[in-house]
Structure 1
Amino acid sequence: MKSYLLGVWNTLDPLYYSFSRLKYVKDLEKNRTLFRVRLTRYKGRSTVLKDGTVIHKNDLLLKIHLHNVKIMNELYAVTSDTRRAVYIYHMVKRAMPMLAKYVKNHYRYNDIKGIIGITSLHNGSKRLGFDNITIPNPVYRTYKQMTFTPINYIASSSRHEEPMYLFMSKDELVNRYGLED
């Protein structure tokens, strides 16, 4: 059943991508990384990040989406949740320098305040430099938890963490992962 659902997801993902305004972040060889991104205006409560950056309502952020189909295809044969988590952590870590380069080269670089994502895969995210912020609105948090149910099912994850915002300031991203030109 899971392989069938993954096949359907593989088929529908290009359609979703075409309607979502997402753009791929590419590596040095122009291959697609596991990040897909778009600019967004933050609509939540003001929050202070660990580096002192304050994110206010309507600040311009780069919203990051993990390319879940790509991840699931690569992890299909891995059955241990622990191994999956470690593998995903390293996939994200390898893609972060390309995300930093994407932001540094973006025509709105001076306007972008940071990056944001929403995920239930937040174990290890602090080691990557993210701030984990609880989604304060219980209705939105429940909605996001429901939308993550299919990916959790396909991923065979026995752990269903609550979704959280992941934030990183632009300065933290560039200082931590920026490639020297």
Structure 2
Amino acid sequence: MSGSLVIWGIWDAVYQRCTRLRYVEKGRNIFRIVLLRYRGETLTTSDNRQICAGDLILRLHIHNYRFACECKGIEDDLKLVLLLRRLVANSMPQLAEYLAALPQANEIKGIVGTTTLNKGVQHLGFSIADVPTNWFFRYKHWYLKFLLLFIHRNGWNRMKNYNQRTTLSRVYMSKEELLRRYLPSS
């Protein structure tokens, strides 16, 4: 597994340089983000705000390589889920501070991510919606399935049953909800 992680680490560094992804805080935050215009169906958040096509959003990406490194040696599925949940929960306040400090903060409608790791995210303030069934999301589902090979010790066995147990979903939250929940009071 460590040889695969070394190769992945090299690929991740190249990928980082070739994309617009930015770290919220490198080494301390599980998210990487990109500021962009939302393209998709209208999303209604848990606080009844809408994110519509053309709205400015922060697109969330879990830093999968970092997560894989954190998971190294963990075999228990429950421990993996709890680790990811803790990493995400601990990263949310920094994400709120990052968004609030952006020059475009007033224009941003919310945060949106796509993941198969959507169980229990409502507790963190996220809403969930299905993704369209197009080639891009089929590819993304395959890619996330492939990541299991690197993250989970029994990745090959897990990958065989992956489609039956997981669905690809959008997770999203309004800017107001993010700031209300996670921005420290000043």
Normalised by the length of structure 1, the TM-score is 0.92
Per the alignment, residue 166 of structure 1 pairs with: 171
Please state how far the C-alpha of 1:72 moved relative to its aligned partner: 0.8
Partner Cα distance (1:58, 1:16) in 2: 26
Query: Which residue number in structure 1 is paired with residue 49 of structure 2?
Result: 53
Aligned to 2:5: 6
The residue identity in structure 2 corresponding to 1:24 is: Y
Code of the aligned partner of 1:21: R
Structure 1 stretches lacking a partner, 5+ long? none
1:98-177 → structure 2 map (5 Å cutoff): 98-156=94-152, 158=158, 160=162, 161-177=166-182
Instruction: Give the alignment partner of residue 76 of structure 1, picking from 72, 75, 82.
Output: 72
Cα-to-partner distance string for 1:103-143 (whole Å, 9 max, x where unaligned): 11111000000001111111121111111110023433322
Q: Secondary structure at the match of 1:102?
A: helix
What residue in structure 2 maps to residue 41 of structure 1?
37
Richer in helix (by share) = 2
- Is the CA contact (8 Å cut-off) linking 2:127 and 2:171 kept in structure 1? yes
Contact 2:34 2:60 in 1 (8 A): yes
Shift of 1:96: 0.3
> RMSD across aligned C-alpha pairs, in angstroms?
1.5
Per-residue deviation, 1:31: 4.9
Gaps of 5+ in 2: none
Aligned length: 177
Shift of 1:32: 3.8
